[in-house]
Amino acid sequence: MRKRVIITGMGCVSPLGHNVKDTWEALLAGKSGAGPITAFDAGAHKTKFAAEVKGFDASAMFGTRDARKMDRFTQFATAAALEALEQSGLKIDDSNRDRVGILIGSGIGGINSILEQYEVMRERGPERISPFLIPMMISDGAAGNLAIRVGARGPNMSLATACASGTNALGEAAEIIRRGAADVMIAGASESAINSLAMAGMNSMTALSTRNEDPQKASRPFDKDREGFVMGEGAGILILESLEHAQSRGANILCEFSGYGTTDDAYHISAPAENGAGAANSMRHALEDAGLSVMDVQYINAHGTSTQLNDKSETAAIKTVFGEQAYNVPVSSTKSMTGHLLGASGAVEAVFGVMAILNGMLPPTINYETPDPICDLDYVPNQPRAVHVDHVMSNSFGFGGHNATLILSRYK
């Protein structure tokens, strides 16, 4: 029999707050994290706003010397991981460090460091490049830095599946525990790509909203007038453990990681399959992995990017899997408030799934004003909803056709 995997700690950094509590309270209040870009001068860009993490002081948290050696995405991941470890009560020492692993995904990695140091080289020459550039830019920088900080010597890696990275990271971390290669995995994802180059690239793809006159209304998943996503940044980290390990140390169990599915569309590098076939298969696999039926799911946290193609495709996939039951399951997109955290989105949304189970509250889809006949499910419009939740499904889809779904369940 495979090992049961449970969750004992959570941490996040988001455009709505620097921790789980503040972020969750802002979600239930229907607040948007979007606003004018402060990271660079966006005057020449089609989109001049994003959902930035505000007031994050890495120097105060880690010390100036250490902060300077970490890209912003690594700083976010480290902050979220330390919060998660504190909640879990896990002490890493010589008795267990070889059985504690880390898996932190990122769609892009240290792109800010690449751009900053390129400007240094262009203006001052190659000899002035920071010796920390390579460790800062590589996608496994967050996982490696965290291992050194906390002393975890178990399986350690990064993972990149674009905007599915966070969900895949959690799913693969659970599989590492299930096969017995670790007792604990510190897992999730982090992203920080609000810079001139990334924003220009997304605008060239016509992926971003250009509602510059009203940024907080720009992310409107499943609404008929949606016209692109809002770039976000942040990190989500969860502490996954085998049930036996958590019980042996008397840990407080938050919920169970019960199901995981992942597929690929094999269709288009950036557009989802129109009928959502790959996404539907991912959801089916997660249900089978959890041993559940569609009747067992009380809430779906949607990928819900606020783009025409994604929201249409995901709605079709949910209908394919759930049939008529699709109309009875609440679905919401928290990206309406956080923006799209790219590779980190699935990990942060997993935190929201756990909070929905613990608090019996579903976060809303804000800015849902004009129903779309193609997107006709219950999207928990504009207001949170009190619902007893035993099982949550969370979807993430990424460029390259990547699909990933996880199921979180009330621990029994």
pLDDT digits (tens, 9 = 90+) for 337-378: 999 999 999 999 999 999 999 999 999 999 999 999 999 999
CA-nearest of 348, 344, 321, 322 to 334 is 348
Q: For the chain, give the mean pLDDT.
A: 97
Which of 245, 303, 391, 402 is catalytic? The answer is 303
The whole-angstrom distance between residue 278's C-alpha and the CA centroid of its chain comes to 20
What is the rounded average pLDDT of the residues 289-310? 98
CB under 8 A, 24+ apart: contacts of 244-252: 244/3, 245/99, 245/183, 245/184, 246/6, 246/8, 249/89, 249/90, 251/8, 251/88, 251/89, 251/90, 252/8, 252/88, 252/89
104-113 core/surface letters (b: 16 or more CB in 10 A; e: else):
bbbbbbbbbb
pLDDT at 71 over 90: yes
Q: 274 falls in which pLDDT band (50, 70, 90)?
A: confident
- Residue 68's alpha-carbon distances to 108, 141, 243, in angstroms, are 19, 13, 38
> Would residue 340 show up in a list of annotated catalytic residues for this protein?
yes
pLDDT for residue 273: 87
Which of 45, 285, 340, 402 is catalytic? The answer is 340
Domains for the chain: give ranges and CATH numbers.
5-248 (3.40.47.10), 258-409 (3.40.47.10)
Which of 12, 18, 45, 163 is catalytic? The answer is 163
pLDDT digits (tens, 9 = 90+) for 177-223: 999 999 999 999 999 999 999 999 999 999 999 999 999 999 999 99
**Region of 252 on the Ramachandran plot (φ > 0 left; ψ -120 to 50 alpha; else beta):** beta
**Region of 216 on the Ramachandran plot (φ > 0 left; ψ -120 to 50 alpha; else beta):** alpha
The whole-angstrom distance between residue 261's C-alpha and the CA centroid of its chain comes to 16
Q: Hey, what are 31's tokens?
A: 């607040």
Q: Are strands 100-105 and 49-50 parallel, antiparallel or unpaired?
A: unpaired
